[in-house]
Chain A
Amino acid sequence: MTVFIIRRLLQALLVVFMMSVIVFFGVNIVGDPVYMLVSPDADQADIEAAISRLGLDRPIWEQYGLFLKGAAQGDLGNSFIFGEPALKLILHHMPATMELAFSALFLAIVIGIPLGLYAGLYPDGRLSKGIMAASIFGFSLPTFWVGLMLIMLFAVELQWVPATGRGDLGSFLGIQSSLFTLDGLSHIFLPALNLALLKISLAIRLTRAGVREAMGLDYVKYARAKGLSTRRIIFVHVMKNILIPVVTVMGLEFGSLIGFSVVTETIFAWPGMGKLLIDAILQLDRPVVVAYLMIIVLFFVLINLIVDILYSILDPRVRLQDQGA
């Protein structure tokens, strides 16, 4: 077990290192940020001063070396635009993204599982067919377009909730979040729903498949024979067996929620990391782009590592030995 974890850790390190090379060199080859930062009537001396202030006059491998050295000490460089450490900027925007992702995950579970349960119990019903058709749309519609439609319907036409921004923050147990104020909740509803749609479809499909499989198993037949009410069989016995895998898979989708939040945050002007990334790309703010990408890579590598270890603990059939490589 220890050997397995150490080996996976080393692999994870290698991946992060490789990604740092790709990301750093990729990002630093594109465009010239200097012309966006100095005023248009700056003379040659100003431009050169800016270049040397940003460290852009050094050879690129030297820049990379400095970046690596800084990264090892938790310093991913300063934002060209804000002049603040890029890491600090990202950490500052992280709570908003986390809040959005958690809300989306919550919505996916409370909406998706009951619908999937219904579709699994009555697979031939008209409503079930409707639910399954809707879940196909949930998978194939582009997120950003659904977001636009949500804004148009709920914010422009019906004017139930505001279209953009984060709203008031409330404080609870020392955590600042818009989930604790009514204004904040009304702001988070649409973006969270938008981000959740894909995962709602996933939850519906997983739950439905689980319920259909479980209903034919012996323990359900036995419970019936014992005279338990259908309600008790479903909500106590069946749910207990299918909820664990469904919730586990949904939890694993958390990383992809953070990835997808880039789109949702941009549409709803949600001040999270994703919007920061898009703004940074548009303004050629390289350090922020590099820092965001490195953090996302680190995040995914960590999630994958945890998943691998969890699986090997939960399912003894998954071999701990490295498979070939």
Chain B
Amino acid sequence: MSDVTAESTLAADPPTKVETPFQRFRAEFFESKIATVALGVFLIIVLLAVLAPWITPQNPYDLAQVSVMDGRLPPGSEAFDGYTMWLGSDGSGRDLYSAILYGLRISLTVGLASGVIALLIGMAIGLVAAYAGGRIEAIIMRIVDLQLSFPASLVALMMVAALGKGVDKIILALVIAQWAYYARTVRATALVERGKEYVEAAQCLGISRFRIVFRHILPNCMAPLIVVGTVQTASAISLEATLSFLGVGLPQTEPSIGVLIANGFEYMLSGRYWISVFPGLALLLTVVSINLVGDHLRDVLNPRLKK
């Protein structure tokens, strides 16, 4: 009886198109309007940052193009050179719109670079822990737990206190502050994957350990890694801005968004809000849009939420 119904429903179904996992993922992702908009906003921000030299009226760090006469102009003022400063200018006469786009280049570079490096290191360590097991795993996870018991912002602050200023040092500090999140995620997923039949099958075929870990287990750990990666990258960008704002992050010669906000801070109490507020809004849009995308990715990629 049941066989017959099963067969008849099968026959009744129109031949379904074969959907690749990526197509399914894409369809599910764009179901959410908020996430789609957030992704759009983020891509626009990246595009603006990449194209900055071609779409801004001045290079804010070329002294020949900056005039002190333009200092602290409110939004919408006309600059000495004739163009309109829609977002006003800062204390040394830089057009804020240009400064923000140039600042985004630095902020995004630092955030993405530290995110990717932390991901690679954390991933490798997490995989080793999961696959090696025993003492090695115990020691690695002890260190991970220990580090995660300190807030990432505090670890990053300690590292810059110890390392000093500069792009390379900030990236190193952020990597040290964040690798443990990736390691924990990868190890947890890899432990589950290691117990599955396909790994056993691969072992029976005599495939090398290295190949099993990187070619078979790793691809199956990608989903949670991507989710953690987006959220951690957003937090890296915001951490860098925080450290730079405090004056212990990037130097004035590498004016990221955080440095711009810090520069505007002194003018804030006298009512010249725009020097801090507009870079702040740019930072906010970046961080919130990445977070919204990450939040939705978590829903889409989590197999437990699938019906």
Partner-B contacts on A (CB < 8 A): 15, 22-23, 26-27, 29-31, 136-137, 140-145, 148-149, 151-152, 155-156, 163, 256, 259-260, 262-263, 266-267, 277-278, 281-282, 289, 293, 296, 300, 304, 324-325
Contact = CB atoms under 8 A, between A and B. Distances in A.
- A interface secondary structure, majority: helix
A266 B246 CA distance: 7
Given A30-B162, A325-B138, A259 B265 contact: no
Contact of B242 (A155, A256, A263): A263
Contacts of A278: 246-248
B150 interface: yes
28 contacts: A23-B162, A26-B162, A30-B163, A140-B238, A140-B287, A141-B287, A142-B238, A142-B242, A142-B284, A152-B273, A156-B271, A156-B273, A256-B151, A259-B150, A259-B153, A259-B154, A260-B151, A260-B153, A262-B246, A263-B153, A263-B242, A277-B157, A278-B246, A289-B161, A293-B161, A293-B162, A300-B154, A325-B139
Nearest to A148: B276
A304 B142 CA distance: 13
Contacts of B118: none
A27 B169 CA distance: 13
A27 to B, nearest CB: 5
Given A140-B287, A144-B245, A324-B141, 9 more contacts: A140-B234, A142-B283, A142-B287, A144-B261, A145-B241, A148-B280, A256-B151, A262-B246, A325-B138
Interface residues of B, number: 41
B204 interface: no
Contacts of B276: 148
Contact of A156 (B146, B161, B268, B280): B268
A30 B247 CA distance: 16
B198 to A, nearest CB: 27
Nearest to B146: A15
B149 interface: yes
A300 B157 CA distance: 15
A152 B246 contact: no
Contacts of B139: 325
Contacts of A289: 161
Interface string B129-144: 0000000011101100
B1 interface: no
Contacts of B146: 15
Contacts of A145: 241, 261, 280, 283-284
A-B CB proximity, top 3 nearest:
A26-B162, A259-B154, A30-B164
B241 A142 contact: yes
A156 B269 contact: yes
A144 B161 contact: no
A187 to B, nearest CB: 15
A281 B271 contact: no
A293 B160 CA distance: 12
Interface in B156-177: 157-164
Contacts of A156: 268-269, 271, 273
Contacts of B268: 148, 151-152, 156
Contacts of B159: 26
A17 to B, nearest CB: 13
A227 B160 CA distance: 61
A62 B248 CA distance: 28
Contacts of B284: 141-142, 145
B288 interface: yes
B150 A140 contact: no
B242 A144 contact: yes
A212 to B, nearest CB: 18
A148 B261 contact: yes
Contacts of B234: 140
A29 B142 CA distance: 28
A152 B162 contact: no
Given A142-B242, A263-B246, A256 B154 contact: yes
Contacts of A31: 164
B291 A140 contact: yes
Contact of B277 (A29, A152, A296): A152
A298 to B, nearest CB: 12
B153 A281 contact: no
A22 B139 CA distance: 19
A83 B146 CA distance: 35
Contacts of B247: 278, 282
A156 B291 CA distance: 31
Interface in B234-287: 234, 238, 241-242, 245-248, 261, 265, 268-269, 271, 273, 276-277, 280, 283-284, 287
Contacts of A149: 277, 280
